[in-house]
Structure 1
């Protein structure tokens, strides 16, 4: 026995623990894939991984790595590789969400790596979007079935050029078209973006409904940009219900140096607790699985 496998918590995922000083690169890929398909989230702990091993390991199970063009936050590129990014843009809480669900083309898989843990706090939070859907009241399920979400964002020329990593309007138009996002360009080259999407999606296998989206952090950080498609507000009592469910089913992952976290971004929501020190350094990669579901 080289590893021990146990639940991350009572409700979610599997933790793969090194007990015989092996490399994470020596793990059985088929076993990892089967566990990932079943649970949607795996934590690899005790493998003494560094940034290069993290890159090799994620490369071995993934494809179609993307940069963060169009992403909501500023992210630092690691070791000159635009597919490895630090997530520490600021240190306040980020509520549970699916990654980049404010655009059509999302990364289907996420990898996180703990280059350095915080001195305290700063846990990554996760929950299963299937469980989240099942906890919703019947009236809230019906509300989201009938009403899509609508993101409306305005940006100056300088801001969109930084966010989309281009100063070419034609390239911006192409990116928006691929993401089913309506683009309006103003005379001063500022823009308005409108994107419409559901809050609930079918699972990959089609057997389940999954509550996964960018609703909670958007309402937390930039509340004015998100409403229902018809322009109406999401009721306060619905937001209270969502936040209460999120707290009840959240699992916190307290990082240890070298930890690797593998997430199905079509099922598992993630976020983080606030932290106050500058030690925390967590990397992320955005990609697709190199295996079929």
Structure 2
């Protein structure tokens, strides 16, 4: 453990992240923002533990380091608004596992940074899982590296009227048109007012400096839900051999975060993929905020 400005840190794992540990009974709001930013730039994932934060403190702390908060318009999961704040959302509306993914990579406008807050951990299971997208890319076979350099992913969806009203938070198809246009998403409106959408993007992306490639996308959970949701951009299927290799890599490099009450997690959504293990009880209460960093990154 080493001293770093106003806090102590220790590795979250051998491959990813740092924990910022409260050993001086400090408030998280008193921590050196400059030190946090520098550590985040280097690590891409920070876990703040032992600060006894509540929802109000979490909101204030994340406000100080973030900008451009999003309300999850266009998001595929159902998420409940917390305390009337449309940028503070629950992630517990179902209990199944969620495979590793980048947040909202099925559209153009993604949150560059994510915050998670543990209001209450599950009594068992329900760990959040994370991995470094650079390490994931490095683990790919040469065949898959070449394949993903040549072919992009095509995310597809069919939404009945009630479904698109919930996803896009509107009753107006003109608003849906504008949202899809801003996200480079192809939209088809059907006679019954259902819609079909698709979005094409790479599975791999260069990092901020352009010196390395990152495997980050929404492929794994989309394929787990239905093989109809994603294909290659040329229309060819993503076969079982490809998915087997990807799932094997995911399990090999996954790191689990077993929540403690008051934990805060800060994630670079251009580099770090996340997901979760399944859980069975109703006590798990984890919140998320989607945003951009309020600092040069």
**Secondary structure in 1 aligned to 2:77?**
coil
Q: 1:65 is matched with which residue?
A: 69
TM-score, normalised by the number of residues in structure 2: 0.97
Residues 200-211 of structure 1 mapped to structure 2, 5 A cutoff: 200-211=204-215
Residues 148-187 of structure 1 mapped to structure 2, 5 A cutoff: 148-187=152-191
Q: 1:85 is matched with which residue?
A: 89
**Secondary structure in 2 aligned to 1:145?**
helix
Of residues 237, 241, 244 in structure 1, which corresponds to 2:241?
Answer: 237
The runs of 5 or more residues in structure 1 that have no matched partner are none
d(CA) in 1 for partners of 2:34, 2:212? 24
d(CA) in 1 for partners of 2:96, 2:173? 33
Of residues 94, 99, 105 in structure 2, which corresponds to 1:101?
Answer: 105
Q: 2:275 is matched with which residue?
A: 271
Q: 1:257 is matched with which residue?
A: 261
1:19 matched to 2:23? The reply is yes
What per-residue deviation string (whole Å, max 9, x for no partner) do you get for residues 125-168 of structure 1? Answer: 00000000000000001111111100111111111011100011
What per-residue deviation string (whole Å, max 9, x for no partner) do you get for residues 72-113 of structure 1? Answer: 100010000000000002101100000000000000000000
d(CA) in 1 for partners of 2:281, 2:206? 39
Deviation of 1:4 after TM superposition, in Å, equals 2.0
d(CA) in 2 for partners of 1:220, 1:40? 26
Deviation of 1:15 after TM superposition, in Å, equals 0.2
d(CA) in 1 for partners of 2:115, 2:254? 19
More deviation in 42-51 or 215-224? 215-224
Q: 1:135 is matched with which residue?
A: 139
What per-residue deviation string (whole Å, max 9, x for no partner) do you get for residues 205-225 of structure 1? Answer: 211100000000000112211
Runs of 4+ in 1 over 3 A off after TM superposition: none
Deviation of 1:35 after TM superposition, in Å, equals 0.5
d(CA) in 2 for partners of 1:36, 1:54? 17
> Aligned pair count?
293
TM-score, normalised by the number of residues in structure 1: 0.99
RMSD across aligned positions (CA): 0.8
